[in-house]
């Protein structure tokens, strides 16, 4: 577990890795009498502003849940639009990524993406690979159960080949087979549009993450809402299953009192 970074300007701990479930694009558009795709297009503006602000503030990693495995079930016309929007976004935002020293990395079953969209992703990953600033991870064609199943399959294949001893498998072994084992787990998970579920997102990695749910739909989530989530995070007491020093002292006193 990495040391907790304190930020006096926020009032407490600072989330070095933020993960966001970007929800509510279609709802936001429908409420305004617009097609769902209008919400997706407006959501791109939020991606740009949140990414830029996180990089400016010193966030080390930002993971955006952009397209889930389940999203393939949506109407074909909407999926086609989203894949085209992804391709356009990758090309148009390269200057923004470079200006902010952001590295791009994508996780998920990326082989399911259309060739043109995947090509644009790979080009942008290569272009930003040497940047030293924040890591932006896009979860695309992503499902956490699929990620764990893929990891288990790889371990089983290596065990069958004799290159992995089943008796040696522990939590860190499994982590090494996840899509991106080197990035630390998220500190803060933000979900927009008021939904109270994780939607098959980073189930392994969210074990000790703090959750923040906002009623704002993703196209409405900009700098002010991001700062509000960070300030809420700063007010939390993160113990990771243990006790803080004051709690330890109180527990010791209670134990003494019970035995006297």
Contact at 8 Å (CB) between 49 and 223? Answer: yes
- Gap between the Cα atoms of 150 and 250, Å rounded: 45
Q: Which residues contact 168 (CB under 8 A, 6 or more apart)?
A: none
- Gap between the Cα atoms of 103 and 182, Å rounded: 14
Q: Judge whether 23 counts as a catalytic residue.
A: yes
The helix, strand and coil proportions of the chain, stated in percent and rounded to the nearest 5, come to 50, 15, 35
Cβ neighbours, 10 Å, residue 105: 18
Residue with tokens 């549009």: 193
Active-site residue, selected from the candidate residues 9, 71, 185, 224? 71
Q: Judge whether 100 counts as a catalytic residue.
A: no
Catalytic residue numbers, as ranges: 23, 71
């Amino acid at each position: 577990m990495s040391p907790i970074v304190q930020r006096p300007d926020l009032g407490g701990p600072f989330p070095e890795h933020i993960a966001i479930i970007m929800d509510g694009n279609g709802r936001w558009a429908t409420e305004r009498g617009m097609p769902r795709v209008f919400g997706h297009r407006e959501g791109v503006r939020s991606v740009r502003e949140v990414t830029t602000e996180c990089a400016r503030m010193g966030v080390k990693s930002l993971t955006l849940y952009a397209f889930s495995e389940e999203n393939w079930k949506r109407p074909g016309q909407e999926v086609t639009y989203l894949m085209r929007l992804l391709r356009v976004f990758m090309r148009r935002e390269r200057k923004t990524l470079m200006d902010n020293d952001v590295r791009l990395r994508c996780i998920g079953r990326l082989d399911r993406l259309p060739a043109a969209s995947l090509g644009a992703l790979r080009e942008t990953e290569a272009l930003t690979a040497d940047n030293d600033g924040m890591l932006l991870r896009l979860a695309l064609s992503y499902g956490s159960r699929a990620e764990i199943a893929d990891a288990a399959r790889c371990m089983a294949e290596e065990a069958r080949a004799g290159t992995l001893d089943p008796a040696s498998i522990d939590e860190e072994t499994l982590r090494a087979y996840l899509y991106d084992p080197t990035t630390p787990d998220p500190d803060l998970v933000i979900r927009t549009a008021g939904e109270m579920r994780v939607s098959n997102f980073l189930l392994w990695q969210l074990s000790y993450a703090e959750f923040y749910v906002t009623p704002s739909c993703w196209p409405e989530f900009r700098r002010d809402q991001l700062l509000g989530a960070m300030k809420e995070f700063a007010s939390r007491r993160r113990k990771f299953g243990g006790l803080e020093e004051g709690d330890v002292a109180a527990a010791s006193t209670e134990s003494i009192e019970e035995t006297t």
